[in-house]
Amino acid sequence: MKRLFYSTDSLDDAEKISDEVHELGIDDHHFYVLSRDENGIKTHHLHGSTQIEKTQILSARKRAMLLAGGAALLLFSVLFFFTEAVDKFLLQAIGASIVVGFIVMVVVRLAGKSFDEYFQILVDEHLDAGDVIIIIDVAKSQTHIVETQLENHPKAQFLADSSNLASPIPD
């Protein structure tokens, strides 16, 4: 799935965008709004929060752990199935897999943390200016349809897109 981030001027606009996107088949569990107006979120019947920090939508740590575990498992699998190293050097193979996993985790975590911090600053700037942030998770098959719909919406401003790997929209 792909995560799309848009901003708009008001919760009224966000509600209109929500209705349009719902007509395209996106349900409430894949549509999220950030706004400093907590009462407005409720009165407009939108799924959302006042702070991105409360959402865990940006999660460099989770992505890093998944990729590190995958890298360690991949290395160990290659050693196990394609070499005789595991037969002779089991502890060394496990150790090498753990070290590679740790290195991958550190690198991905630093890169992801940098993106998360940058994006959190961007979101906070928009929220502090009174804007509303719209976050939509879409399947690959729906991406073009949703992007086209929002490109044609006069009040929707594209901010960014990313993967939603390991960071679901909160319930």
Q: Which residues of 134-171 are buried (b: 16+ CB within 10 A; e: fewer)?
A: bbbbbeeebeeebbebbeebebbeebeebebebbbbee
Looking at residues 42-48, what average pLDDT do you find?
A: 84
* Predicted pLDDT of residue 21: 92
Given this model, what pLDDT does residue 64 score? Answer: 66
Q: What's the chain's average pLDDT?
A: 81
pLDDT band at 63 (very low <50, low <70, confident <90, very high): low
Look at the pTM and tell me if it is higher than 0.85: no
Share of the chain above pLDDT 70, in %: 82
Which pLDDT score is estimated for 52?
62
Look at 8-12, 19-23, 78-82, 131-135 and tell me which has the smallest mean pLDDT.
Answer: 78-82
Query: Which string of DSSP letters, residue by residue, matches the chain?
Result: -EEEEEEES-HHHHHHHHHHHHHTT--GGGEEEE-S-HHHHHHTT--EES-GGGTT-S-HHHHHHHHHHHHHHHHHHHHHHH-SHHHH-HHHHHHHHHHHHHHHHHHHHHHHHHHHHHHHHHHHHHHHTT-EEEEEEE-HHHHHHHHHHHHT-TT-EEEEEEE-TT-PPP-
**pLDDT higher than threshold 80 for residue 66:** no
pLDDT tens digits, one per residue of 87-143: 677 777 777 888 888 888 777 777 666 777 777 788 889 989 999 999 888 888 899
